[in-house]
Amino acid sequence: MKAGCSIVDKPEGGGGYHFPEWAYKTESSPGSRQIQLWHFILELLQKEEFRHVIAWQQGEYGEFVIKDPDEVARLWGRRKCKPQMNYDKLSRALRYYYNKRILHKTKGKRFTYKFNFNKLVMPNYPFINIRPNGVVPQSAPPVPTASSRFHFPPLDSHSPTDDAQPGRFSGPSLVPSNPEALGDSGERKPDLPELEDGSADWRRGVDLMASRNTASAGGVNHQKRKPDIMLPLFTRPGIYPDPHSPFAVSPLPGRGGVLNVPISPALSLTPTLFSYSPSPGLSPFTGSSCFSFNPEEMKHYLHSQACSVFNYHLSPRTFPRYPGLMVPPLQCQMPMEEQPQFPIKLQPPPVGRKNRERLESNEESATPQLASPPPPRVKLEPPVDKEAEREEPPAKGKDKSEKEENSSMAAPSTSLEEEKGPVFARPAAPSWHPTPLVPAQAQGPAEEPQDQGESSGEKPPREPSGEPGAQEKREDALMPPKLRLKRRWNGDRQADAPEEQPNGRVPWNGVLGSPHLAAGPKAVAAAAASDA
DNA sequence: TTCGGAACCC
DNA sequence: GGGTTCCGAA
């Protein structure tokens, strides 16, 4: 029976696009005994005779359009010996690929989907390396590369490509065989398809990134889609002779050893991707560059993360997930005109109360509270205060920026000016103290250490700052060692941080929260020690 | 049209 | 695991 089902004989290579041999093996798909749908789709895409049924979308790398859904379904049904197959069913199967991130839907375009070739192909191109020459636009979020220094565990233990054999991609097969295909490589329109996905959801996903999160980009996005952010990474003409075929350019060393070829534009920068780490067996680089965490690299890495987060509105949570691309320092700078649009305060999202407390107490000590109106001197209930501060409910914010504005407005005295000011304005930090300190004095002095951050005169404006020194000593005596350490640190910091701005805001230096700032006094102390 | 849950099949 | 089939919802 089944024997009679197969309709797609052998790939003829006439389609103009060459995929790895296994992609054409109808009998077997990587990872499965039976042909898989995505596999089949590639097959059809590759055949000229099916062009009228399904074809690569012009100008969109990896994107294809099902011109005749019924026919495709019929073909698929034939192949699977499922005469009842229809597009509805087939599309259901395709939708299952969303979560696997093999495919995603191109929103707004009927019957249009896009392959996530990184998912599909990456494992087959362990040698691709885009890093060296910064092929990737600097403004783009870091893209994982096989040579990334930071490896993350694979997201999926099993994916269609997991089984792919690296050796399968033979040079020849990767070369575009169809002149026609090459010919029509028009200009690649700067595509940000993913963005239209709501990617912001990349955040969708992203937050997705969630994670494995992806479960957000969420996983991908929420995948429900994580915002697969597709960056205009490959808009340079010439890089992709054929904008449509994901394999138009041979990644093989023919081009000069390690490929500097940009990875497929189909690479959606979803978290997913980032979690891919070439198996040592696959990557030629494995021996050399992995797991080296030299400070400079890390610095760059963090910097780029920060820039990406900043430039693409990524959730700071995604921060640590992209393996190392470097972004030149200035890249982070937003055009002045744009700044108002991104009143982003890169505060770590919900950090979790504990961390938050730490951060805050830390920040407080590090930055004068001038920025915000005199915080309540009264001890506040943490939860309430935080919530109030955080979601100072604007009428359901019309849009993000508004929300942000509002959040910054939480501080009663925050002026419009301020809102427009530094993008990373620090929100007014609640002044409550995490640790119940000296009871009676606590109210006043206990807070002091925090305010103190920059200068000894930091006491609440109202208090006569007559003899800071004496007072400090007294406090020191009363202060628990931890606090003392903190205070000492604050002092050091003051000396170390001449850049600190008068308004108490920490200048954006491109690095999301320096480890020092984020880590808390202890870590700071340790860092300081090590720095020294 | 598209999405995704659920049950079921191979 | 990878669909297939159904179906309600948006």
Averaged confidence pLDDT in chain A? 46
- Does residue A95 lie within 7 Å of nucleic acid chain B, judged by its CB? yes
Nucleotide with smallest C1' distance to residue A100 CA: C2
Residue A221 has φ and ψ, to the nearest 5°, of: 75, 140
Reported as a pLDDT band with limits 50, 70 and 90, residue A77 is very high
pLDDT digits (tens, 9 = 90+) for A271-283: 333 333 333 333 3
- Does residue A92 lie within 7 Å of nucleic acid chain B, judged by its CB? yes
- For residue A53, the domain's CATH number is 1.10.10.10
Rounded Cα–Cα distance for residues A76 and A26 (Å): 12
Closest CA to A118 of A240, A218, A265: A265
Angstrom CA distances, A381 to A103, A385, A391, A430, stand at 47, 6, 16, 9
Pairing of strands A112-115, A63-66: antiparallel
**β-bridge partners, A128:** A259
Judge whether A427 and A410 are in contact, CB under 8 Å.
yes
Q: List, in order, residues 6 or more apart from A522 with CB less than 8 Å away.
A: A482, A485
| Residue A99, domain member (yes or no) | yes
Angstrom CA distances, A295 to A298, A301, A517, stand at 5, 9, 17
| Residue A92, domain member (yes or no) | yes
pLDDT digits (tens, 9 = 90+) for A304-357: 444 443 443 433 333 333 333 333 333 333 333 333 333 333 333 333 444 444
* pLDDT value for A61: 81
Question: Exposure of A162 by Cβ count < 10 A (0-12 exposed, 13-18 middle, 19+ buried)?
Answer: middle
* pLDDT value for A62: 86
| Residue A309, domain member (yes or no) | no
* pLDDT value for A447: 36
Reported as a pLDDT band with limits 50, 70 and 90, residue A119 is low
Average pLDDT over residues A220-239: 35
Task: Round and report the angstrom distance from CA (A88) to C1' (C5).
Answer: 10
pLDDT digits (tens, 9 = 90+) for A370-401: 333 333 343 333 333 333 334 333 333 333 33
Domain encompassing residue A99: 28-122
Structural domain count of chain A: 1
- Does residue A89 lie within 7 Å of nucleic acid chain B, judged by its CB? no
Rounded Cα–Cα distance for residues A9 and A103 (Å): 24
Percent of chain A with pLDDT strictly greater than 90: 9
Reported as a pLDDT band with limits 50, 70 and 90, residue A229 is very low
| Residue A54, domain member (yes or no) | yes
Length of chain A: 532
Is pLDDT of A97 > 90? yes
Closest CA to A425 of A354, A373, A384: A373
| Residue A363, domain member (yes or no) | no
pLDDT digits (tens, 9 = 90+) for A251-269: 333 333 333 333 333 333 3
Closest CA to A265 of A391, A375, A137, A446: A137
| Residues 112-131 on chain A lying near strand B, CB distance under 7 A | 112
Nucleotide with smallest C1' distance to residue A93 CA: C3
Buried b (16+ CB within 10 A) or exposed e, A500-524: beeebbbebebbbbeebbbbbbebb
Handedness of CA A532, A472, A495, A355 (dihedral sign): positive
Rounded Cα–Cα distance for residues A142 and A274 (Å): 9
* pLDDT value for A312: 38
- Residue A4: how many CB atoms within 10 A of its CB? 8
pLDDT digits (tens, 9 = 90+) for A17-50: 444 454 444 444 445 567 889 989 998 998 889 9
pLDDT digits (tens, 9 = 90+) for A135-174: 222 222 223 333 333 233 333 333 333 333 333 333 333 3
pLDDT digits (tens, 9 = 90+) for A174-188: 333 333 333 333 333
Closest CA to A102 of A147, A48, A36, A14: A36
Looking at strand C, which nucleotides approach a protein CB closer than 7 A? Answer: 1-7
Task: Round and report the angstrom distance from CA (A252) to C1' (C4).
Answer: 39
Q: Considering only residues A28 and A86, tell me which one the structure prediction assigns the higher pLDDT.
A: A86
Average pLDDT over residues A500-519: 37
Buried b (16+ CB within 10 A) or exposed e, A97-129: bbbbbbbbbbeeeebbbbbbbbbbbbbbbbbbb
| Residue A110, domain member (yes or no) | yes
Average pLDDT over residues A418-440: 36
| Residue A193, domain member (yes or no) | no
Tokens of A471: 């007072």
Reported as a pLDDT band with limits 50, 70 and 90, residue A486 is low
User: What pTM was estimated for this model as a whole?
Assistant: 0.35
Angstrom CA distances, A178 to A10, A50, A173, stand at 17, 15, 12
Task: Round and report the angstrom distance from CA (A72) to C1' (C5).
Answer: 18
| Residue A74, domain member (yes or no) | yes
Task: Round and report the angstrom distance from CA (A32) to C1' (C7).
Answer: 28
Q: How far is CA A382 from the centre of its chain?
A: 31
Torsion of CA A408, A412, A417, A419, to 10 degrees: 0
Is pLDDT of A68 > 60? yes
Judge whether A414 and A369 are in contact, CB under 8 Å.
no
